[in-house]
Amino acid sequence: MTVPGYRDEPAARWDPAAPADPGEAEDFLRQCYTENQRLGPVEPRLAIVRAQIAATGTYVHTTDELAYGAKLAWRNASRCIGRLYWRSLVVLDRRRARTADEIFSLLVNHLRTAGDGQIRPVISVFAAAQPGQPYARVWNEQLIRYAGYRGPDGCPKGDARQEQFTAAMRGYGWRGKGDQFDVLPLAIETPAEGVRLYELPERAIREVPLTHPEFSWFAELGLRWHAVPAISNMRLTIGGVHYPLAPFNGWYLGTEIGARNLADTDRYDMLPTVAARMGLDTSRESTLWRDRALVELNVAVLHSFEAAGIKMSDHHTESQRFLKHLSNEEKAGRPVPADWTWIVPPLSGGITPVFHRYYDEMDLRPAFYLDEPAAALAREGCPVRRTH
């Protein structure tokens, strides 16, 4: 996905009761004000922040600091191949929202802002966590995810990876349609209201039916995918301040849908079906039937998004752009953290330019971090109210 990846290392974990680290705050502010000379001298601002941390255990970012911090978190995301565009991130300051209804309305607005016309990279930053206080969050890993079911015959239907979360939502009263592409409700947790479930309106869900430029039978498979990949279960950390609810999106890399979401055996597992319709010999691996089916599945994804006029990148083009990003950052004298296993595409990796080099692993901040999985939260049995 051409949006920030995540790190889940011991150093990334945080204590919600701990105050903001003054040293991390100073490091961020000096970087922010050095890279944005229009903000003026940093020393007066540092004095204010030190006083705020001493008095309250935390401090409040200005609008400019929040916006640039979010962009830096994308620039520092070691698992994202699409960082060439980090300056273009649209930052929506939603820190005043408190109720679940307000948050849901703004999440719908996020999807519409990102998905109307050409896909735009957008982040909505909600209230920061206060030391020792409960905070708002979304249980879903993405704002739009398809449900996963297990039929009476034991066969999976829908997104197999979402079976546990789907079961939890059904346990809280959500039923869904039970089909292959059934959009899950949003589970929004706030300190005052607990967890509430919300159905996304159709206007917020832009989807693309998948067809193939050569195989007319492909449309009969009934495949489709949503246009906006908005990650919602990652914490944004800026200068020692944590934002547990900060959903963000870019646009899809074709292989994310064609080589992962629809192809992985623990997702939609479509390769055997595509291979059968292509008439491939699947009796042994050496026929490379998986590879041939995988290529055609990815051809269909790229073709369909282009036909629908929805922005998407292919892995060859994006690999070249990532090297451009590396060059830009090297000229600016900045290190570029990168995780090779995520930067190299899951299709034809060896013939992309990002394959033939090594990268440095660094935990640079500001950053995005993966926190407790939503499935674990669902298992805790928090009280849930169904709305909309």
Which is the catalytic residue, given 7, 65, 79, 80?
A: 80
How do the pLDDT tens digits run along the chain, 388 residues long?
Answer: 454 454 444 345 789 889 999 999 999 999 999 999 999 999 999 999 999 999 999 999 999 999 999 999 999 999 999 999 999 999 999 999 999 999 999 999 999 999 987 899 999 999 999 999 999 999 999 999 999 999 888 889 999 999 999 999 999 999 999 999 999 999 999 999 999 999 999 999 999 999 999 999 999 999 999 999 999 999 999 999 999 999 999 999 999 999 999 999 999 999 999 999 999 999 999 999 999 999 999 999 999 999 999 999 999 999 999 999 999 999 999 999 999 999 999 999 999 999 999 999 899 999 999 977 654 655 555 555 555 5
Identified catalytic residue from 74, 86, 139, 251? 251
One-letter amino acid of 250: G
Q: Is 382 a catalytic residue?
A: no
- Catalytic residue flag (residue 189): no
The first and second tokens of residue 293, run together, are: 């089916």
Determine how β-strand 137-138 pairs with β-strand 186-190. Answer: antiparallel
Beta-bridge mates of residue 189: 137, 195
Q: Are 74 and 5 in contact (CB under 8 A)?
A: no
The gap from C-alpha 195 to its chain's centroid, in whole angstroms, comes to 21
The active-site residue out of 141, 256, 296, 318 is: 256
Could you tell me the two tokens for 242?
A: 């944590």
> Cα-flanking dihedrals φ and ψ of residue 369, to 5°?
-135, 140
Q: Domain spans of the chain?
A: 10-344+369-387
The predicted model scores a pTM of 0.94
Between CA 316 and CA 174 the distance in angstroms is 41
User: Are the C-beta atoms of residues 242 and 14 closer than 8 Å to each other?
Assistant: yes
* Domain at 10-344+369-387: CATH code: 3.90.340.10
H helices, E strands: number in the chain: 11, 15
Q: Which of 7, 75, 79, 83 is catalytic?
A: 83
Please state, in angstroms and rounded to a whole number, the distance separating the CA atoms of residues 299 and 352.
17
**Three-state SS string across 111-141, please?**
HHHHHCCCCCCEEEECCCCCCCCCCCEECCC
SS3 108: helix
Write out the DSSP string of 327-351.
Answer: HHHHHTT---B--HHHHS-SSSGGG
Catalytic site residue 251? yes
Tokens of 237: 């950390």
Helix 22-35, helix 63-75: angle, nearest 10:
90
Q: What's the one-letter identity of residue 21?
A: D
